[in-house]
Amino acid sequence: MAIDTRPDPGDDAAAEVSGPSRTPADLAERLGDLARYLESRADVTATLQGIVDTAVDTVPGAAYAGVSVIARRRMMETPIVSASVVSAVDRAQIEFGQGPCLTALYERHTVAMPDTASEQRWPRFAARAAELGIGSMLSFQLYVLDDDLGALNLYACASHAFGADSERVGRLFAAHAGVAMATARQVSQLKHAIDTRDLIGQAKGILMERYKLTAEQAFALLVRASQHSNTKLTEIASYLCRSGELPTGP
């Protein structure tokens, strides 16, 4: 499956963030540490939490961070945040159907909102974000995987908190984090496939031993039970392994 994690090549530079820019050597070392850290995370949720935790410490100007996802082109969710204000801000994006995160998710580039008080592109959302104490935002697309989209959102209390250095570091961070996220998802899917195969194998073994069936006959019996009860095959297998019986009806 193709995964698009390319950084946006042409965003305009914003006002510079106070403080020294990171040198290439410093940034390379930090991103190397990030890759190793995210690789050590146990699952998708842990990887998302790792992205959020390290983004605040890595991207200049960031006070808070969150990862937003859209699964199968449905409603946006922000399952992992560094602070509760992030959840409140993203609920406003969902409510009004506008904001930098939604634009980053669908239009696939870096999106900056330098000043919520003067923002004209998303006026209703910007007003709500300002009420919640957010002065500026910066959003990066993390991944595109079939119909699943992910974005990293950074928040600051001050306006114009994110400058050219923030966007440069953020794009590199998002590229590394997007690869780590895609890897974690693939590992999770593989683990689920293995667990499902093992569960069906256990159920087949029960039927083979009890009714003296071949493996093919046992699997066919599971399939018929699934069709008759309008239940997923994995749920039939799980029920059989737990109870020792096949469901008898819908």
pLDDT for res 84? 94
Strands (E) located in the chain: 64-70, 77-81, 111-113, 136-145, 148-156
Provide the residue ranges of all domains of the chain, joining segments of one domain with +. 24-185, 190-243
Confidence at residue 148, expressed as pLDDT on a 0 to 100 scale = 75
**So what's the pLDDT on residue 34?**
64
The pLDDT value recorded for residue 114 is: 97
Edge-to-edge strand ranges of the sheet holding 136-145: 77-81, 64-70, 148-156, 136-145, 111-113
Q: How many helices (H) and strands (E) does the chain have?
A: 8, 5
Q: What are the b/e assignments for 15-43, b being 16+ CB within 10 Å?
A: eebeeebbeeeebeebbeebeeebeebee
The third-level CATH classification (topology) of the domain covering 190-243 is Arc Repressor Mutant, subunit A (1.10.10)
Distance of CA 2 to the CA centre of its chain: 16
Q: What is the pLDDT of residue 178?
A: 76
Beta bridge partners of 133: none
Token pair belonging to 183: 């890897």
Q: Which amino acid is at 79?
A: P
Task: Give the whole-angstrom CA distance, residue 32 versus residue 25.
Answer: 11
How confident is the model at residue 12, as a pLDDT? Answer: 38
Q: What is the dihedral of CA 158, 159, 163, 169, to 10 degrees?
A: 50
Q: Give the pLDDT means over successive 10-residue stretches in the chain (250 positions).
A: 39 38 58 63 74 88 92 77 94 93 84 96 96 96 76 95 93 81 61 77 89 89 86 86 76
Q: What topology is assigned to 24-185 in CATH?
A: Beta-Lactamase (3.30.450)
219 vs 200: CA distance, rounded Å: 8
Q: What is the pLDDT of residue 8?
A: 45
